[in-house]
Chain A
């Protein structure tokens, strides 16, 4: 048997407390990732060790809330990986067009940039009015931010370029109004987005959908947990439905590998077999 070092023991005990007290289950997340986030938090907090942090989690709700924020990585972009969105336009949209009503699930939508990107594509392709987008995350703070649809001006240069590279048909600035610091996305873009708190680890299927996007979320989970979440996706998709993963994620090692065909191998777009 390999003996665990003190930090490892402290971390697994801390995760147990977080789960028992708040219901957030990080016990099957990537260990190296969780350790890094917790050690960062420890350094910033001035606490002496993780055991002290554990009593903070037990007695201090404000501290716990900020720790939960630190454990959820909300880094995201509009039209991140333009090649992916190009493939959505070219390969996924034609399939969606065959349905009279479309349901899309963005799992782990973070602060919403992905969902707004999808809304833009759907508007341009004339599908928006018959679509409902479920944008879910377990981070309520991120969801609240997403709902507002207000983003920093600083990012717009990069997003505009991403949008154009992804095959965007309009001038990107048509989709927002801006002031000195921020842009406000057009109201019409969020009309059909339903923002909801959903935890992929502990919550279950909530709708039958035609398309699932879950990008850069599963990389934080261990293999077992990845499989569990893949089952959730499989059960939520209609036959012939589409699953989109992040550019470094794959189905290769999952139990559901055989249940999908590859719609675009490079862009990690899969189609559930009939």
Chain B
């Protein structure tokens, strides 16, 4: 299976999770990663720059209508929902909050599932609500690959546990386990 994108949803405890994960990704990692992190509306995205310094891949805020490219990690801007279009560009929206969140993980996951169908990997990490569960289910319905962080290894296990309870998640792993799996999957793609 050739995957074309990875979507990640993360909430409380997310900053530490991302600090652990991103530096582990090699320069050759060739699938775009799109992230919704729950974050307060007026926060400055200074932390993106800090993460960027430690990462081999470019980490940036997703711009509206931007073309989604390999080798980049995109983060949803605060106070906007992030959606993926069929033509693999981003849209932003300030619709009502979903699951008390804007950006919402479900909104990203559902639109990405429509756009990438079975070529999508969905990942739910640490968090203390159930945003992302519906979206991950849709990814599964379209034949995509689903991954949840092992709740016992998460700073806050509620969000991955909610996904695991609602569906048959393909992999339940620690952060390191998830990164290793993602690298393995993309290496297979490289040498095919």
Contact = CB atoms under 8 A, between A and B. Distances in A.
Interface in A117-136: none
A58 interface: no
A37 B84 CA distance: 14
A30 B85 contact: yes
A72 B95 CA distance: 9
B150 interface: no
Among B63, B65, B92, B111, chain A packs the most CB atoms within 10 A around the CB of: B65
Interface stretch (A13-21, A168-176, A198-206, A215-223): A215-223
Interface string B81-105: 0011110000111111000000000
Contacts of A37: 95
A30 B91 CA distance: 7
Interface of B: 63-65, 77, 80, 83-86, 91-96, 107, 110-111, 114-115
B64 A36 contact: no
B101 to A, nearest CB: 14
21 contacts: A8-B86, A30-B85, A31-B85, A32-B84, A32-B85, A32-B86, A32-B91, A32-B111, A33-B91, A36-B110, A75-B94, A219-B80, A219-B91, A219-B92, A219-B93, A219-B94, A220-B93, A223-B65, A248-B63, A249-B64, A250-B63
A9 interface: no
A253 B63 CA distance: 12
A248 B92 contact: yes
Given A75-B95, A219-B91, A36 B77 contact: no
Contacts of B111: 32, 35-36
Contacts of A30: 83, 85, 91, 93
A83 to B, nearest CB: 9
A253 B83 contact: no
A219 B64 contact: yes
Interface in A243-266: 248-250, 253
A216 B92 CA distance: 9
B159 to A, nearest CB: 21
A128 to B, nearest CB: 28
A85 B92 CA distance: 22
Contacts of B84: 32
A6 to B, nearest CB: 12
Nearest to B65: A223
Among A31, A32, A37, chain B packs the most CB atoms within 10 A around the CB of: A32
Nearest to B107: A36
Interface in A208-249: 216, 219-220, 223, 248-249
B32 to A, nearest CB: 16
Given A248-B77, A248-B80, A73 B64 contact: no
Contacts of B80: 219, 248
A137 B86 CA distance: 28
Contacts of A73: 93-95
A35 B114 contact: yes
Contacts of B83: 30, 32-33, 36
Contacts of B65: 223, 253
Nearest to A29: B91
A8 B87 CA distance: 13
A30 B93 CA distance: 10
Nearest to B110: A36
B85 A248 contact: no
A220 B65 CA distance: 10
A75 B91 contact: no
Contacts of A216: 94
Contacts of B77: 248
B86 A31 contact: yes
Given A73-B95, A223-B65, 9 more contacts: A32-B83, A36-B95, A36-B107, A75-B95, A219-B91, A219-B93, A248-B63, A248-B77, A253-B65
Contacts of B94: 73, 75, 216, 219
Contacts of A32: 83-86, 91, 111, 114-115
A31 B64 CA distance: 13
Contacts of B95: 36-37, 73, 75
